[in-house]
Amino acid sequence: MFNSKLIHSLQARLGLAMAAILALAIVSIGSSVIITQTAKGFAAAINQAGTLRMQSYRIVASLVPAAGEEVLSPGVRTRSLVSEFRDRLASDRIQSVMQKNPSLPVQDSYRLLVERWESVLAPLISEYISQALAAEPSRLSPDRLTNLRQAYIAEVDPFVDVIHQFVRALEVEAESKIERLQLIQLIVLILTLVVVVVLLFVRRDLHRPMRELLATAGAVRHGDFSVRCSHPRDDELGQLGAAFNLMAADLSHTYEELEERVARKTADLERSNRSLELLYTVSRRLSVETFDEKVLSQLVDEVGRLIGARGGAICLGQPGDEQAFRLATTALSDLPADDLCIESSDCVRCFGDGNAHMIKLQSENGAYRYSTPVADKGEQYGVLLMDIDEASSLEEWHKRLLDTVAYHISLAIQREQQLSQNRKLALMEERSVIARELHDSLAQTLSYLKIQVSLLRNALPQAGDEKSIEILERLHSGLNSAYGELRELLTTFRLRLGEGGFEAALEQTVEDFRKRGEINLVLENRIGNCRLSPNAEINLVQIIREALSNVVRHSDANEACVSIDCDHEGRVTLLIEDDGVGMPGVEQLEHHHGLAIMRERARGLDGVLDVGRSTHGGTVVKLNFHAMSGQGE
């Protein structure tokens, strides 16, 4: 494991190289210091040992007295030289070297030198000095001195050879230390070169990957996250390259996520912008333009295109209603216009419980319908329907958009209802004014004419001119008819649609004619959620009153039925049928005053009025028109 780490780790190799350099430096310097310290004093010791040879020969020279010199003089000089020799043999220079544990040859040669001196030369020279320095010169034996001198001189040369051996041993020891130092320095130099070679290899392993890392870092800095380091080794740079590759991959993934988030945010902003534009368009159109089917259909189409719906519709009604009024529509579910509803006369599923919900259609394409309530302040006016391919394709922001659009539509319906109510009140007020004017003018005139005709009848003799009497009767009858029709007209003009609205006015109209005769009148009001304009409501009530007036006065019927129906497309059908004697022929109908009034009001509704015989033998009056027609006053 250690070898593997050492091989693959740049840090370990660099550390080992630095440690080797440090160790080599320590070894080199330490060995130099140690060897230099141990070699210190050898030169002085060699020099000192060399003086021993000279001192030995000086002692020999001192043994021979000069001409005329006394015998005591050489003895004194020799003793001095011997003392000096002893001092040099035991000098600090030599002892310092011997105390450093020199090699065995040095120690042996020095020990031999000392033993030779102490055992051979020192006794001879001591005896010679003793003889030479005797107290009585007469007792000196020249032969003894000569023998001692000859013996000493004979031992000097071998002794000098011993000194030579000692000096040579010192020189060899000093040279060996120097050679050892040279060897150590050579080894350190070689190891240093090895370390340098290792560092060169390390530099090679460091330089190329480092350059590649820098190039990769530069590419990443400029936004290119596709670059990767290709350093394959398991060293630190390889690990760094792998970590860098991982970082580049993470950065690439992060940038991709950021780009996706930016794209999503941009798409959200674009959707929000389109939603705001659509809501502005919806609000502007509903507040400025005419509130009709065309405008609402355009709005439904724009909403459908924005959310990807196949079509849509706005139906008026409330939860629980079986029949709703389709206010506007586009092509829902690719169905024909008459088959847009889930089931005929059944709007319960679309209205639900008053909350937004999804409906699975029974069509072959498997579409879904999303119903959004059109409501404000707890009051529901209808639903906004959107057909989509898949239920999952409708996102939350689609639902929020539909809720907001439905809210704006509810405000528009509420505002339209308020305007319609205001127009209705204004129309009622205008008709009341006309009724008062007719009553104050034409009604008073007709009353005056009736009185005058009555006075004229009383003034004429009973046996007067028959022709004059006939004309007078026709005049009286015409005035009565005109007065009755004027009273009916005044009643119609005074008709007010109060708080109960159109339904209450129908009930009141039927109840009034019930009281006028003994006919059983039945009202079947299935108008439902159809939106009728104030003018259409007035015209429809007046047509019913005119028809019932004819039924009461001319039909001689026992029963009559008034039925009003409105389908989901807004088509209104009014049917008034009795079981009486029926209407006269077509020629007489063309000149019938009441029928002319009904036809005129039907044209005001853009409708078609038909009068004929019923299956029961009586008369049937049928009116067909669209609920959104008759907007004029």
Domains of the chain, residue spans:
2-203, 223-286, 287-405, 499-633
Q: Give the whole-angstrom CA distance, residue 622 versus residue 615.
A: 13
Q: Give the whole-angstrom CA distance, residue 437 versus residue 440.
A: 5
Q: Phi-psi bin for 345: left (phi > 0), alpha (psi -120 to 50), beta?
A: left
- Strand duo 559-566 + 571-578: pairing: antiparallel
Q: Nearest Cα to 557, choosing from 513, 621, 620, 618?
A: 618
| Per-residue b or e along 70-92, where b marks 16 or more CB atoms closer than 10 Å to that residue's CB | eeeebbebbbebbeebeebbebe
Contacts of 561 (CB under 8 A, 6+ apart): 521, 522, 524, 575, 576, 577, 578
pLDDT of 344 reads: 46
What does the block give as tokens for 129? 């000095």
Please tell me the total number of residues recorded for the chain in this structure: 633
Q: Does residue 625 contact residue 608 with C-beta atoms inside 8 Å? A: yes
Q: Nearest Cα to 81, choosing from 93, 70, 73?
A: 73
Q: Give the whole-angstrom CA distance, residue 22 versus residue 627.
A: 108
The CA dihedral of 98, 99, 104, 110, to the nearest 10 degrees, is 30
Q: What angle do CA 106, 111, 113 make, to 5 degrees?
A: 95
End-to-end CA distance of the chain: 105
pLDDT of 461 reads: 64
pLDDT of 632 reads: 47
Sheet holding 379-388, edge to edge: 325-329, 311-316, 379-388, 368-376, 357-360
The beta strand positions in 294-351, using DSSP E, are 311-316, 325-329
Residue type, 259: E
pLDDT of 51 reads: 80
- Strand duo 520-526 + 559-566: pairing: parallel
Return the DSSP state at 122. Answer: H
Q: Give the whole-angstrom CA distance, residue 171 versus residue 502.
A: 146
pTM of the full structure: 0.54
pLDDT of 26 reads: 82
Domain range 499-633, its CATH number among 3.30.565.10, 2.60.210.10, 3.40.50.300, 3.40.50.1000: 3.30.565.10
Q: Nearest Cα to 370, choosing from 343, 399, 341?
A: 399
Give me the average pLDDT of each 10-residue run along the chain (633 residues). 54 73 78 70 75 81 62 69 82 75 75 83 79 58 74 82 83 81 84 82 74 80 77 69 80 86 88 83 77 81 85 81 76 50 62 82 73 85 85 82 87 80 73 70 73 74 66 76 69 60 81 82 82 78 84 83 82 88 57 71 85 82 80 49
What does the block give as tokens for 459? 């003034």
pLDDT of 586 reads: 41
Q: Which single residue is written with the structure tokens 């009140």?
A: 425
Q: What is the DSSP string of 197-235?
A: HHHHHHHHHHHHHHHHHHHHHHHHHTT-TT------SSS
Backbone torsions φ then ψ of 394, nearest 5 degrees: -90, 110
Q: Does residue 155 contact residue 124 with C-beta atoms inside 8 Å? A: yes
pLDDT of 418 reads: 79
Backbone torsions φ then ψ of 619, nearest 5 degrees: -115, 145
Q: Give the whole-angstrom CA distance, residue 152 versus residue 7.
A: 74
Residue type, 603: R
| Helix/strand/coil for 390 | coil
Cα→Cα distances 492→347, 442, 608, Å:
36, 16, 22
Please name the fold of domain 287-405: Beta-Lactamase (3.30.450)
What does the block give as tokens for 226? 């596709």
pLDDT of 338 reads: 44
Backbone torsions φ then ψ of 300, nearest 5 degrees: -60, -40
